[in-house]
Structures are given as structure tokens and as C-alpha cells.
Amino acid sequence: MDKLGSVRDLTFWGQLLMVGLPGPRVEEVARGLVRDLKVGGIVLFARNLESPEQVWQLTHDLQKEALAATGRPLIISLDQEGGTVQRLKSPFTIIPAARQLGLKATAAEVEALARRVARELCLVGVNMNLAPVLDVARGADCPLWDRSYGPDPQLVAKLGTAAIRGFLAGGVMPVAKHFPGLGDTVIDSHEELALAESGNGAREQDLFPFRQAVAAGVPVIMTAHLKVPEWDSRPATLSEKILQEWLRRDLGFDGVIITDDLEMGGIATRLPAPQAAREALAAGADLLLICKDWQAAWDTATLLAQEAALEPRGREAAARLRLLKERLKPQTADLKAVKEFFRSRR
């Protein structure tokens, strides 16, 4: 066994998983995922969130379990984009939709807003924000229209990199999404596999914001459940060509690649989560996202542990995640500080 663990142990593969939890407290299911499976990360949704004080207590308890089990912190994430995709509501800062920011805000204003949001997330123990969206939405028929800064790749890149700088300055890891860009789609990947409609094999309009994000030092990029016919017959999340040739080699990205939720229709209508996770890991993803079915997390680790051919990829992914965790800011605020900060906002 080396410092990253034995590949015969389910917990070696558990560290490559980011999973959802059933409720707002650390109970049996959550404790099992963190203490026994030793998952690498947690993603929070409305079902987990009640108040700033409760979120602080939840993340505090999760980190306590993780540190006792592994000696390493958990990645604790959520979607705090703005508009309709904002998990933490008032008294947290209410964030305008990206589309509104694209119409009205300067880069400096977006950066300051991201820094403020990040500091609130840090206060309650969230260390990763699944934002910003870098999709270049072409028109209102694109499902990402309101979540995109707009149809101009230069603007998306300018505001997206400003958000990345703000999140990093505020102490939270940003995640640029959804590579290689859902801006030329009319199918919602939550329901079905999205199809790139532009017919442009270069995709420079879609890639430009991601190139700029890589140059700005974004530490994590999320994949899209997207088929680009000019590139591959497989969805980007499961495509070695897209993740290794385009994202790693062409864009020069050496950070963590996280999948979008493997239970979304864009993947789940074709493959169950464990099989999709296996294929995503083989293609080049490092962190495998399963948002709802926590039993699927156990099933995924069991399946991966049986795949000897995945060992080199698993070790590469584990090493990247170890480096990312070394950059996570520790939870330093106590409950009193959280209460005092949010008291004036109620």
C-alpha cells in the first residue's frame, strides 16, 4: 500500500466520489459515506440546507468525521451561481442571474460579488462553488440562456475569469462549467443527452472562455453531458478524446476534472451511475459526481475496485485530488461568528 491507499480497498475509490446526502444532519447514511466509504467530497442541495447556523453545524460535523477517518478534509460544494440556481437563499447574498450580470455588470463588479459570496460560503464551511458557468448561450432556446453571461465569448470569458478571481480571493475553489460548452444546444442535459448544434468542429466560440479560465488558474472544470458529433460519438463526460486531447492537451488544463451529475438524464438514460462513473474515470475524469442515490456511491466503489485496468487512472485522479485538498481553506469561523454575521441580514 502506498500513501494513496490500496486499490483493492473500496475506500481508495471512495475518495474519487462526490456525493449527495439525504438530509440536513450527519446521520447514519452520511456517517457511512464519510467515515466508512471515505468519499472525497459532498455536494449540498436544498434538502440539506435550513439556516446559516445549521449549514455551519453540518459542515463542521462532516469535517470532523472526515478528519477522524482519513486525516484529510472533505471537499464540500454546492451550486451558488445566482438566479434560479442558488442553493443558499437569504440571508445569504442574493445573486443576479448570469444573464443579468452580462447585460449590466462590469468585470470588477462581478469579481467583487464573487469574493463576497465566497466569504459567506467559507463562513459556513463550504469550500467549493460549482460556478461559474462558461457556456456561451447563443439564444433564448438554449437551456443555459439565463445561466450564461451571454452570446459573446469575449464577454463570457471576461466575466467568468473575474468570477474565478473573486472566488479564489474569497477562499473558495471555483468550478468552470460545462466543458466543452452547452451554448449551442437546445436540449436540456438534465433530461436527455444534449447535442451540439453549431456543426463547427473547431468550437472556438465555446472553447475561448475555458482557455481563459485555464490561463486564470481555475482549479476545477466540470464536464458536460454533451455529444459533439464532429469530435466523438460519446458524450463529453465519457469521452477520452474530449477530456484528454481537447481539455488536457489542447487547453493545457492540469487541474481536477469533475463530472456533472451522473444521475442526470443526459447520462442516466443510457447507463446506470456506477457504469457511467467507470467510463468517465477511464476517459479522464478525476472526481465522479453522484447527487442523489447514495447506494449508487457504494455500488460505484465496488465496481471500480474490480477493474484492475483502472488502477493507473485511479492513482492519477487521487493524486490530483490530494493536491486540490491541500489548497482548501480550513473552517475557522465558530458558530458565534456565523450568528453575528447573519443577524443583521434577517
Reported as a single tens digit per residue, the pLDDT across 39-87 is 999 999 999 999 999 999 999 999 999 999 999 999 999 999 999 999 9
**CB neighbourhood size of 337 (10 A):** 12
State residue 331's pLDDT score.
84
Residue 3 lies in a domain: no
State residue 341's pLDDT score.
95
Which residues does 30 contact at the CB level (< 8 Å), separation at least 6? 21, 22, 23, 62, 65
CA distances (Å), origin 195, targets 182, 224, 276, 280, 327: 8, 10, 18, 18, 35
Contact 172, 121 (CB under 8 A): yes
Residue 1 lies in a domain: no
Which cell is 74 given?
A: 472533505
Q: Which residues are catalytic?
A: 190, 260
What are the backbone angles phi and psi of residue 261, rounded to the nearest 5°? -55, 125
Which residues does 297 contact at the CB level (< 8 Å), separation at least 6? 14, 17, 19, 33, 37, 39, 290
Residue 314 lies in a domain: yes
pTM, two decimal places: 0.96
Residue 116 lies in a domain: yes
Residue 247 lies in a domain: yes
Which residues does 167 contact at the CB level (< 8 Å), separation at least 6? 114, 115, 117, 118, 129, 131, 132, 173, 174
Which H or E element spans position 80? strand 80-82
Query: To the nearest 10°, the Cα dihedral for 22, 23, 27, 33?
Result: 40
State residue 3's pLDDT score.
45
State residue 7's pLDDT score.
54
Q: What residues in the chain have per-residue pLDDT under 50?
A: 1-4
What CATH number does the domain containing 323 carry? 3.20.20.300
Range of the domain at 207: 10-343
Residue 4 lies in a domain: no
State residue 8's pLDDT score.
64
Residue 2 lies in a domain: no
Total structural domains in the chain? 1
**How far apart are alpha carbons 26 and 29 in whole angstroms?**
8
Residue 53 lies in a domain: yes
State residue 346's pLDDT score.
67
The 8-class DSSP code of residue 133 comes to B
Percent of the chain with pLDDT over 90: 93
